[in-house]
Amino acid sequence: MCVMFVLMALGLVVRLFYLQIQNNEHFSTRSLENRIKIEPLVPARGLIFSRNGKLIAGNSTSLSLVAIPEKIDDMKASLARLGEKLGLDEAQLEQSLISSKGKSFQKHVLKANLTEKEAAIFAANRFQFPGVSVIPNSSRYYPLGEEMAHVLGYVGRIQPEELKDLDETNYRGTRLIGKTGIEGSLEPLLHGTSGYQRVEVNAEGRVIRIVERRASIPGENIQLTIDSDLQREAFKALSGKVGAIVAIDPNNGEILVAMSNPSFDPNLFVNGITQKQYDALIYSKDRGLFNRFLRGQYPPGSIIKPIVALGALEAGIKRHDVNVFCPGFFRLTENGRPYRCWAKEGHGNVNMTASIARSCDVYYYSLAKKFGIQGLHDSLTLFGLGEKTGVDLPGEKAGLVPSADWKREKLGRNWYKGETLISAIGQGFMLATPMQLAYATSILASKGDAKIPHLFRASKHNFLNEINLRQSDGVAVVLKNQNNWDLVREAMVQVVHGKAGTARSSKLANGIIFAGKTGTAQVSSVDRELELQPDEIPVHLRDHSLFVGYAPAENPAIAIAVVIENGGSGSRVAAPIAKRVVDKFFAGNQKF
């Protein structure tokens, strides 16, 4: 018996020696891992302000219903009871549980943005729901809703496929990420730097004390170039219409207005949009999610005439005071097909100024015949058409300025002379976004001193120091003959202020001189072939209505582009909208 006792004791001592002395390091580490947990400290997202100091994207604290799956015995029953008590959709709860990332011992969001009533009902019944709790978390809200939707974009929950491209340490604990718009393009600036704290926890995971703490650095507050009052005016002006408005300060490229209508409420996306709401947006006729000022590509129509005229003047195609006779049509050859002017009865004798003021097509057909497609292409690309402007928003479209090379490469066909003619009046293959049209107009306004359009005005550091505002130069347009700028500008002034100007009913208030150009872009060829009255044409086949302009003509402070889909004539629809916004600009600006 004694031998047995000694052996037993020896066995235990050997085992303890093995655990405590031989493997002490291993177990010490595990003991440390047991009790020390690292918790991320999520930085507050930077706020976004408009140029006039209005908060346009803020943070709010919301309550979320969360569950720790590991601590719930019967998930299905628990969700069913939650659904019943709080009046929530059980399937929706289950869906968000499945889609949320994380391990079974971590908190999964069942429902974000609880109402106060839901939170109160839960609090009263929480004993019935072990493993489920309500936690506060930071959320995003957009006070101006639809008005800023396409500029700001929105934040939403991080999706698993987005995690791959993120700095995982910096995003541990972050719930929302910028998806589109400024929220998307300035994500690195807005997010800030994540901090952490090392905490001692007990077996239940409750924090006993903080061992070490490195505070997070909040994201930078951002000021945009957008004027929220002007943006609201644009929003109102577009109400009931489908289209876009972009207004730029030609002196520095700051975008004052960027509005696309119809719009959507970005707040819907922050805490998870429901399938029903999403479908409603996606399948609506006019697609509110579609950013028309950035991605809408339209035939620019007569809008490009001042640029074509300028190119032709520079190339010496035709002197500005040489007349072209417009009988209402133009033929390339003696018995060729007639290319019609929009004015059936013709404009008579037209010089360069009149060709812009009255928007004579025949003048441009005759220019184009000598100028050729390459000449047109080169003049138009100088003004940024056919390529992205480089505005600081994701997903911009490049539009299209056709050329013979382009057609051969893309379509595998030869270029026809007739195509050169219609290109000169902005029809055919040519496409441009409202952003490009505004940029081109701002280059015209600043006499070639191109400033790339941008929305990001300043971050917190230079909010108060307006000297070092961000601006970047585009490729400047340098003319051999500086006088040509003035000739074209004078022609554009005649569009609004001339007796026969196409936009003569859209003069600005207070006598401010407005230089502009109307455009009526054909969507289909029905109207000219069948000679129908405008209201006999189905809405979706009606012409797009366009206008570009800048003011004051002598010393421009604003350049604007307006596109109204299927709006009809540019002078009747787009020009008055531009006038309304520009009037508002000067009304709010004491300098003028």
Partner 1 sequence: MSILNRRVDLPLAGGLAVLCVLGLVVLFSASGESTGIFISQIIRIGIGIFVMLSVAQLSPNALLRIGPILYVSGILLLVTVAFWGDGQGARRWIDLGYIRFQPSEILKLAVPIVIAAIVSNRSLPPSSRGLLLCALVIFVPTILIYLQPDLGTAILVASSGLIIIFLGGISWRLIRYSSFLLCCLAPVVWYFIRDYQKQRILTLFAPERDPLGAGYHIIQSKIAIGSGGIYGKGWLNGTQSHLEFLPERATDFIFAVYCEEFGFVGVLVLFMAYALVVIRSIVILYDAQDTFSRLLGGAIIFTFVSYVFVNIGMVVGLLPVVGVPLPLVSYGGTSMVTILGGFGILMSIQTHKKFYADV
Does residue 198 belong to the site contacting partner 1 (CB under 8 A)? no
Decide: helix, strand or coil at residue 134. strand
Number of neighbours of residue 283 by Cβ within 10 angstroms:
8
Rounded Cα gap, residues 70 and 138, in angstroms: 25
Which span sits near partner 1 by CB under 8 A: 6-14, 333-341, 459-467, 491-499?
A: 6-14
Pattern 29-68, partner 1, x by CB under 8 A: -xx--xx---------------------------------
Active-site pick, 302, 359, 366, 446: 302
Nearer to partner 1, 24 or 374 (CB): 24
Query: Dihedrals φ, ψ of 399, to 5°?
Result: 65, -165
In one letter, which amino acid is 204? E
Buried b vs exposed e over 125-152: b needs ≥16 C-beta within 10 Å?
eeeebeebbbeebebbebebbbbbbbbb
Do residues 133 and 66 make contact, with C-beta atoms less than 8 angstroms apart?
yes
Rounded Cα gap, residues 316 and 322, in angstroms: 12
Pattern 422-451, partner 1, x by CB under 8 A: ------------------------------
Rounded Cα gap, residues 512 and 493, in angstroms: 11
In this structure, the chain runs to a length of: 592
The least CB distance from residue 78 to partner 1, in Å, is 20
Run of H or E residues at 280: helix 275-283
Total number of residues binding partner 1 (CB under 8 A)?
A: 29
The least CB distance from residue 203 to partner 1, in Å, is 4
Does residue 17 belong to the site contacting partner 1 (CB under 8 A)? yes
Strand ranges, E, within 68-194: 108-111, 132-141, 155-157, 176-178
The least CB distance from residue 103 to partner 1, in Å, is 12
- Encoded tokens for 181: 């718009």
Does residue 472 belong to the site contacting partner 1 (CB under 8 A)? no
Q: Is 446 a catalytic residue?
A: no
CA-to-CA separations, 393 to 70, 179, 440, 451, 515, in angstroms, rounded: 42, 11, 18, 16, 28
Does residue 467 belong to the site contacting partner 1 (CB under 8 A)? no
Does residue 19 belong to the site contacting partner 1 (CB under 8 A)? yes
Helix axes 434-445, 305-315, angle to 10 degrees: 50
Does residue 23 belong to the site contacting partner 1 (CB under 8 A)? yes
Signed CA dihedral, 195, 201, 205, 208: sign only: negative
**Among residues 47, 57, 201, 397, the one that binds partner 1 under rule CB under 8 A:** 201
Run of H or E residues at 347: none
Does residue 13 belong to the site contacting partner 1 (CB under 8 A)? yes
Nearer to partner 1, 124 or 208 (CB): 208
The least CB distance from residue 100 to partner 1, in Å, is 21
Nearer to partner 1, 19 or 532 (CB): 19
Count of alpha carbons within 13 Å of 463, Cβ hemisphere only?
13
**Among residues 9, 91, 210, 282, the one that binds partner 1 under rule CB under 8 A:** 9
**Among residues 39, 90, 200, 265, the one that binds partner 1 under rule CB under 8 A:** 200
Does residue 28 belong to the site contacting partner 1 (CB under 8 A)? yes
Nearer to partner 1, 90 or 200 (CB): 200
Nearer to partner 1, 28 or 374 (CB): 28
Does residue 12 belong to the site contacting partner 1 (CB under 8 A)? yes
Does residue 589 belong to the site contacting partner 1 (CB under 8 A)? no
Does residue 345 belong to the site contacting partner 1 (CB under 8 A)? no
Active site residues: 302
Report the interface residues with partner 1, using CB under 8 A: 1-2, 5, 8-9, 11-13, 15-17, 19-21, 23-24, 26-28, 30-31, 34-35, 200-204, 208
